[in-house]
Amino acid sequence: MNSIILKTLVAASLVAAAQAQVHVLGAVWKERGLSAPAGTIVLNPGTIAATRGYMIFDPSILTAAPGPGTLIQYRDARSGGVIQRTYTINSGFRAFSGDIIAGDSGGRRIYGQIHAPMTLANVPNATLPYSGSALPTGYPSKLRFDDTVFQVGTATPLTGPRVVDLGATLARSVISGSATSVDVEATTIAGATAELTDRLEKAGFSRAAVVPVITTGLPATIALQDGQSQVLSVTVGADAFPAPIYKWFRNDVQVSTAPTFTVTGADVATGPGTYRVEVSSSAGTATSTTTVTSVAYTFATNLPPTLSIQGASSAVLSVVLSPEPIPAPIPQPTYQWFKNNVAITAANGGTTATLLIIGGEAITGAGTYRVQVTNGSGVVSVSGNSVVSVPAAGTAFVFTTNTPRTAKPLFTTTVNLSPVVNTAAVPSSVSATRQWFKAPLDNPTAFAPIPAGDGGTTLILAVSGDNANVKGPGVYRLVVTSTVAPITTITSIDTVVTTGP
């Protein structure tokens, strides 16, 4: 049932006098309604069944900021010759207000407005004026509801100002009634509610089904990054009866019957889409909808604006995404590197998370780089530019020729890996030590030194296409260390050696 918030004004002295913890008014509302063919004037409207109820308040009703009370409404309804006795509960009842006036003789009168329950002219949040007397504590004791006419819309000229044309019939309602104090043993609103509903059920009343009301719905949109999760939930009014059931839908396909549902960016089953929750009881259904979208990755760490590598030295360009890492089974991001606005091929590392660049190499080397990252939903993020420069080796202890990225010797032949260290380096590279390392192709980071007897300490290493050869297919790198202060160590790029065709 709809309710409205109305201000209560009560003298401060009456607030101080309040002692009871809960107060109950038992009320009867009578609705006299009209229903006739369009254009007909009926002078004596028919009467429909009365509605009765209990209004339960705590001491806050005597303040300028009253808290919610509880309204229990019950009635007898005849359907197909059978009388049904039902009641409903509104635990957020606020449609009550009043002003108390104390007379010279000590009497106290109360005037205000109260919720007006109607069946025929269904005016939302309608209130009914009343007058009555108040107890010494300030609580209302006896109230009389004035006859009040309610209608929906605007009356037609043919039928007059008090009758409304609702299509095929005319409808209006006149509400009147009264209320008196009811004694309860309970001292709380919850306790009084339980006590009074127990009385009703013993008298043959049963609680009527109520359509759930979603008081806090889903947000209109939710934007998620890949792997980011959010729990979808709604708040349902406490008076829904019986306990509601939930159905969650993604793109109109049911996905869950739990009270909440978790969505995750880019997930195949719970990723972007239109989500709807249906909260239902036997009386009806309330719905709420949201659209989950995918947003581009952000860069927790972007490319460096500039990078300088000397001679044939190497460097690795990389970015750090947010969020990272992306948990399984979320699709992993894909990468495409560009140099001078031209895509770098996969064979040269252009589709990996990091990019190896080598000074003096035509494929990489000096130029302007960027990376394009695509998430699992196809949304693209583009890094900033990184300008790579390759100054001459000068006297730096660096490679002037690096090892190749790959080598493919035939099964019966060898290929020389022959990097060159700067001959003008200071300290001199002449006396530098050299050590080659090899890792298996299936475990390319598990490097082990190649023995000196197999050429592991020479500048040039002959690798073979024969798997049985100690220098056969694998991943190779050279580490060179100066022997004159300042001690400097440089490492070649990794060369992947496989058997050629």
pLDDT in tens, 396-413: 999 999 999 999 999 999
pLDDT at 136: 79
Residue 13 has pLDDT above 80, yes or no: no
Q: Which of the 8 DSSP states describes residue 482?
A: -
Task: Check: CB of residue 408 under 8 Å from CB of residue 465.
Answer: yes
| Residue in the block written with tokens 């490679």 | 399
- Predicted model pTM: 0.68
Q: What tokens were used for 90? A: 């509104």
Q: What tokens were used for 139? A: 């609580």
Residue 18 has pLDDT above 50, yes or no: no
pLDDT at 99: 84
Task: Check: CB of residue 304 under 8 Å from CB of residue 389.
Answer: no
Phi and psi for 15 in degrees, rounded to 5? -60, -45
Phi and psi for 251 in degrees, rounded to 5? 50, 45
Long-range contacts of 115-118 (CB under 8 A, 24+ apart): 115/1, 115/3, 115/71, 116/29, 116/145, 116/148, 116/150, 116/175, 117/1, 117/29, 117/31, 117/51, 117/53, 117/73, 117/175, 118/31, 118/150, 118/173, 118/175
Residue 170 has pLDDT above 80, yes or no: no
In order, the DSSP letters of 282-326 are TTEEEEEEEEEEE---EEEE---SEEE--TT-EEEEE-EEES-SP
Average the pLDDT over each of 13-17, 120-124, 375-379 and give the range with the smallest value: 13-17
Burial of 319 (0-12, 13-18, 19+ CB in 10 A): buried
Residue 15 has pLDDT above 50, yes or no: no
Task: Check: CB of residue 33 under 8 Å from CB of residue 46.
Answer: yes
| Residue in the block written with tokens 């050429």 | 455
Residue 117 has, within 13 A of its CA and on its CB side, a CA count of 24
Residue 464 host element (H or E): strand 461-464
Average the pLDDT over each of 57-66, 87-96, 206-215 and give the range with the smallest value: 57-66
pLDDT at 148: 84
Residue 166 has pLDDT above 60, yes or no: no
pLDDT digits (tens, 9 = 90+) for 314-336: 999 999 988 777 777 788 899 99
Percent of the chain with pLDDT over 90: 62
Q: How far apart are CA 304 and CA 495, in angstroms?
A: 26
pLDDT digits (tens, 9 = 90+) for 22-67: 999 999 998 876 655 444 444 445 556 688 999 999 988 878 788 8
Instruction: Identify the band that residue 169 occupies on the pLDDT scale cut at 50, 70 and 90.
Output: low
Q: Where are the beta strands (DSSP E) in 304-453?
A: 306-308, 314-318, 320-322, 334-339, 342-343, 354-358, 367-374, 380-382, 386-389, 399-401, 406-407, 414-417, 420-421, 433-439, 448-449
List CB contacts of 280: < 8 A, sequence separation 6 or more. Answer: 212, 244, 245, 246, 247, 286
Task: Report the candidate in 415, 501, 420 with the shortest Cα–Cα distance to residue 463.
Answer: 415
Q: Which of the 8 DSSP states describes residue 371?
A: E
Domains defined for the chain, CATH in brackets = 12-207 (no CATH), 214-294 (2.60.40.10), 298-389 (2.60.40.10), 399-497 (2.60.40)
Phi and psi for 60 in degrees, rounded to 5? -65, -15
pLDDT at 6: 34
Q: Average pLDDT, stretch 208-214?
A: 94
pLDDT at 171: 62
Task: Report the candidate in 147, 138, 146, 133 with the shortest Cα–Cα distance to residue 180.
Answer: 133
**C-alpha radius of gyration, the chain, whole number:** 42
Q: How far apart are CA 229 and CA 266, in angstroms?
A: 10
Collapsing DSSP to helix, strand or coil, 39 comes out as: coil
pLDDT at 1: 37
pLDDT digits (tens, 9 = 90+) for 133-161: 988 777 888 999 988 877 765 555 555 44
